[in-house]
């Protein structure tokens, strides 16, 4: 079955056209929204762990794009938001959501060890 070309054009993703500064602001906006949603569940030290997980995920996905053209890091942030807002999960699940698509490379493991995140995540 061939699709109607006009219908295909209507279903096409909108053109992604943010510049680097706008893109950075968009990522920060999404991360801050996640932080606000998670705030009531934070215990001492949790905010820093979530920040470290976000930074690792952002670094791991820095060259990746979604089909829409937007930065891939917006996907793990969106998954984390679903965990917090829709399912009611907490800090551990948020960290897992942020890191769920990161490549398990030696570099990433080294970074996780250097910030002491691995022992805390191994308890999950």
* Mean pLDDT value across the chain: 82
- Its domain, for residue 39, covers 18-121
On whether residue 1 sits in a domain, the answer given is no
On whether residue 12 sits in a domain, the answer given is no
Domain count, the chain: 1
Greater confidence (79 vs 120) lies with 79
Question: What CATH number did the domain enclosing 87 receive?
Answer: 1.10.3210.10
Write out pLDDT tens, residues 101-117: 886 544 665 666 556 66
Which is nearest to 75 in space by CA: 61, 90, 63?
Answer: 61
pTM above 0.85, yes or no: no
| Tokens found for residue 109 | 């493991």
Greater confidence (13 vs 16) lies with 16
Q: Is the pLDDT of residue 74 over 50?
A: yes
Greater confidence (72 vs 123) lies with 72
On whether residue 2 sits in a domain, the answer given is no
On whether residue 116 sits in a domain, the answer given is yes
Which is nearest to 98 in space by CA: 45, 41, 35, 19?
Answer: 35
On whether residue 39 sits in a domain, the answer given is yes
């Amino acid at each position: 079955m061939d699709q109607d070309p006009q219908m295909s054009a209507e279903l096409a993703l909108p053109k992604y056209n943010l510049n680097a500064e706008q893109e950075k602001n968009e990522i920060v906006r999404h991360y801050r929204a996640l932080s606000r949603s998670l705030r009531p569940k934070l215990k001492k030290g949790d905010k820093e762990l979530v920040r470290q997980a976000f930074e690792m995920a952002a670094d791991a996905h820095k060259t990746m794009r979604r089909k829409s053209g937007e930065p891939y890091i917006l996907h793990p942030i969106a998954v984390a938001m679903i965990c917090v807002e829709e399912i009611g999960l907490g800090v551990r699940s948020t960290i897992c959501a942020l890191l769920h698509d990161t490549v398990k490379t030696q570099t990433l493991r080294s970074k996780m060890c250097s910030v002491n995140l691995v022992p805390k995540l191994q308890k999950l």
